Amino acid sequence: MKDDIPGPSSLEEEYEEVILNANDFIVPKAPSTIRYIPNFINEEEEEYLLHRVETAPKPKWDFLKNRRLQNWGGIVGKKSLIPDDEMPQWLEMMIEKIMRLENGFPEDHRPNHVLVNEYLPGQGIMPHTDGPAFFPLISTINLGGHTFLDFYEPIMGDDAKPLEERFIGSMFLEPRSLILINENAYQLLHGIKERDLDAINEKVFNRGDLPIGMELKRETTRVSLTIRNVPNVAKRSIMSLLKKT
């Protein structure tokens, strides 16, 4: 979004105390409940966060076949978080900003885990659910390039419909936006197609006035900060204590 379009974050710059209500950003056409806040952060914050991601210590990066990621806060097991070092200040800042939202995370479920995903144009993530270890609210800050996040019905019982027949629709995620996914939408699969061109279509929940057929090339690396809470925090394992010495 351009600077001349006043958005929530520009308001926030001028009036630090302005509190956003996440429920003002419900996407009506999307499954319940997806909330989408364009310009949740400003360009300076985006640049700063991208810089911190890029300059993180080399060993923080995990290389997957088609994506790089950083795990902050600890290792998420099936049921709990095995905590790691303290959350760095640059991510704590974003957690704090999200906690200031009304109707976001409850006080007693402050995010304690951040996953940083980096996608080059053409890269994506297989449809999946985030699973039961997390408090069922996903918050993601989008940096760099745009993407389409696609939603699918999960397989229910004997229903073996192929994935494409379970496709529900997509969210258009712009840089500097925040998306919140909870309730029924948390139970759906979400994924990002491996392609380098997205086209606005009638299945884009938040297309607004964007014309059907409008093509958006993925030209820039996209970095997402997926900020979540794991309610069960395990006691530090002996192994992790040993590693620290």
Ligand X SMILES: O=C(O)CCC(=O)C(=O)O
226 near ligand X, rule: CB under 6 A:
yes
Size of the site for ligand X (CB under 6 A): 9
Min dist. Cβ of residue 129 to Fe ion (A): 7
The least distance separating Fe ion from the CB of residue 190, rounded to whole angstroms, comes to 6
Q: Are 148 and 204 in contact (CB under 8 A)?
A: yes
Per CB under 6 A, does 45 bind ligand X?
Answer: no
List the interface residues with Fe ion, window 48-87 (CB under 5 A). none
Tally of CA atoms within 13 A in the half-sphere of 46 that contains its CB:
22
Find the binder of Fe ion among 46, 130, 150, 198 (CB under 5 A): 130
Q: Residue 71's CB: how many other CB atoms inside 10 A? A: 15
The residue number whose beta carbon is nearest to Fe ion equals 130
Note whether 150 binds Fe ion by CB under 5 A. no
Q: Which does 27 bind (CB under 5 to 8 A by kind): Fe ion, ligand X, none?
A: none
Q: Which stretch binds Fe ion (CB under 5 A): 90-98, 102-110, 126-134, 140-148?
A: 126-134
When asked if residue 139 is in the footprint of ligand X (CB under 6 A), the reply is no
CA–CA separation, 157 vs 165, rounded Å?
Answer: 16
Of 170, 169, 178, 151, which is closest to residue 1 (Cα–Cα)?
178
Stretch that binds Fe ion, among 21-29, 47-55, 56-64, 124-132 (CB under 5 A): 124-132
Q: What share of the chain is helix, strand, coil (3-state, %, to 5)?
A: 20, 30, 45
**How far is Cα 173 from Cα 26, in angstroms, rounded to an integer?**
14
What's the one-letter identity of residue 238?
I
Closest distance of CB 19 from Fe ion, Å: 27
Of residues 127, 180, 136, 181, the one with CA closest to residue 155: 127
Binding stretches for ligand X (CB under 6 A): 115, 117, 125, 130, 140, 149, 190, 224, 226
